């Protein structure tokens, strides 16, 4: 099996996501994205992980700060997690997380959807911020 950067941590995050997804299977429709973020944060903390919510990500253009956006969760200061409640994930959602990785300096992020009938997950990798790669920052 191939070992990926932060694979143990992303595995723990995914286990927590699946637990929340299935536990709230009949109630998800009545919960806001923010409620689902908080439920996931609680599940992750109960598993002993450090979680910050609504983490500021400075947005840049030509090296200059042009604003700030917020990623839903950052786990153990290493993996940002963007939570969605949509029928299906799109390239636009992936682009949003990729921009957070680039501007926030992370190498790996997770996109988790609570809005579909079945769990939907995307793992996004940004090699420019992988400390194990030659030339990584």
pLDDT above 80: residue 134: no
Q: Is residue 94 a contact partner of residue 82, using CB atoms and an 8 Å limit?
A: no
**33 Cβ contact partners less than 8 Å away, ≥ 6 residues apart:** 83, 84, 85, 114
The two structure tokens encoding residue 118: 């079945």
Whole-number pLDDT of residue 7: 86
Q: Is residue 38 a contact partner of residue 65, using CB atoms and an 8 Å limit?
A: no
Q: What is the pLDDT of residues 5-20, one digit of tens each?
A: 888 999 999 999 999 9
Average pLDDT over residues 111-134: 89
Whole-number pLDDT of residue 2: 56
pLDDT above 50: residue 132: yes
Q: In what order do the strands lie in the sheet with 51-61?
A: 51-61, 64-75, 79-84, 108-113, 120-125
Distance CA 126, CA 105 (A): 9
Cβ burial 39-68 (10 Å sphere, 16+ → b, else e): bbbebbeeeebebebebebebeeeeeeeee
> By CB neighbour count within 10 A (0-12 exposed, 13-18 middle, 19+ buried), where does 131 fall?
exposed
Confidence label for 1 from pLDDT (cuts 50, 70 and 90): very low
What domains are defined for the chain?
Answer: 7-129 (3.40.1350)
Whole-number pLDDT of residue 43: 98
* Chain-centre distance for alpha carbon 96: 11
pLDDT above 70: residue 136: no
Whole-number pLDDT of residue 105: 92
Q: What is the pLDDT of residues 26-70, one digit of tens each?
A: 776 688 999 999 999 999 999 999 999 999 999 988 888 999 999
Bridge partners of residue 51, in order along the sequence = 75
Q: What is the pLDDT of residues 70-104, one digit of tens each?
A: 999 999 999 999 999 999 999 999 999 999 999 99
Q: Percent of the chain having pLDDT more than 90? A: 74
């Amino acid at each position: 099996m191939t070992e990926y950067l932060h694979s143990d941590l992303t595995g723990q995050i995914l286990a927590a996501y699946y637990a929340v997804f299935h536990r709230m299977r009949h109630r998800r429709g009545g919960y806001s994205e923010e409620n689902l973020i908080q439920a996931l944060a609680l599940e992750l903390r109960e598993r002993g992980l450090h979680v910050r919510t609504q983490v500021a990500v400075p947005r840049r253009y030509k090296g200059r700060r042009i604003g700030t956006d917020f990623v839903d969760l950052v786990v153990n200061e290493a993996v940002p997690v963007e939570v969605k409640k949509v029928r299906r994930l799109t390239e636009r959602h992936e682009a949003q997380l990729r921009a957070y990785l680039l501007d926030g300096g992370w190498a790996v992020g997770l996109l988790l959807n609570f809005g579909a009938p079945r769990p939907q997950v995307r793992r996004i990798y940004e090699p420019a911020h992988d400390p194990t790669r030659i030339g990584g920052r």
